[in-house]
Amino acid sequence: MILEGLCTTQNADGSVNLAPMGPVVNSELTRFVFRPFQTSRTFQNLQRHRQGVFHVVDDVLLLAEAALGTPSVAPHYRPALKIEGHVLSDACRWYEFTVSAIDASQPRTEVETQLLHVGHLRDSFGFNRAKHAVIEATILATRLHILTQQEIEQQWPWLQSAVDKTGGEQERRALQFVARHIEDYYRDQETRSR
């Protein structure tokens, strides 16, 4: 099973790298296997620093912004307890880990981890249709280079409807952010093709 969330790793200069990540987990949440692309900063950081923090969050705006660019408001962090790393201050829960093995024989690396600490900051709001729609829209927006514009447009009415019917201000802002990202991408593609 894949658990969607955010992962913090440490850049070479000591700054925090925040990235969406969907590790493969077992049902007890005691085994996490990350699968970053070798070209990603997360992979480079895990290979070099060999530790990180995975966060379960319910802030879909932060998830979308982290996936598609830079968060509009810099997240607040607190020090991790068992590793040299950073915990999102608004996470629901977090998992501090070290890297136990890396299999880089495929473009999508498998990074085996050992959990050192599990923390809980607050209960999760949970996910309604709107939050799920924003996550799905964000995933589509990360795949614009392999999907057609028609494929995106076919799925958008359902995503928009779910947010309109069941979302709050955060979900509306998040979906607008994703829509602008998609529009900018296609506008840039059109400009380049002229």
Could you read off the pLDDT of 62-106 as tens digits, one per residue?
999 999 998 989 999 999 999 999 999 999 999 999 999 999 998
Please report, rounded to a whole number, the percentage of residues in the chain having pLDDT higher than 70. 100
- Regarding whether 101 and 181 lie in a shared domain, the answer is no
Distances (CA, A) of 88 to 19, 132, 170, 179: 12, 21, 18, 26
Could you read off the pLDDT of 14-66 as tens digits, one per residue?
999 999 999 999 999 999 999 999 999 999 999 999 999 999 999 999 999 99
- Regarding whether 94 and 35 lie in a shared domain, the answer is yes
Confidence class of residue 134 from pLDDT cuts 50, 70 and 90? Answer: very high
For residues 101 and 188, give the distance between their C-alpha atoms in angstroms, rounded to a whole number: 40
Q: What is the domain count for the chain?
A: 2
| Cα distance between the two ends of the chain | 44
Which of 120, 139, 162 finishes a domain? Answer: 120
Could you read off the pLDDT of 179-192 as tens digits, one per residue?
999 999 999 988 88
- Regarding whether 133 and 106 lie in a shared domain, the answer is no
Q: Is 29 left (phi over 0), alpha (psi -120 to 50) or beta?
A: left
**Listed residue (94, 143, 141, 136) closest to 118, CA to CA:** 94
For residues 55 and 190, give the distance between their C-alpha atoms in angstroms, rounded to a whole number: 37
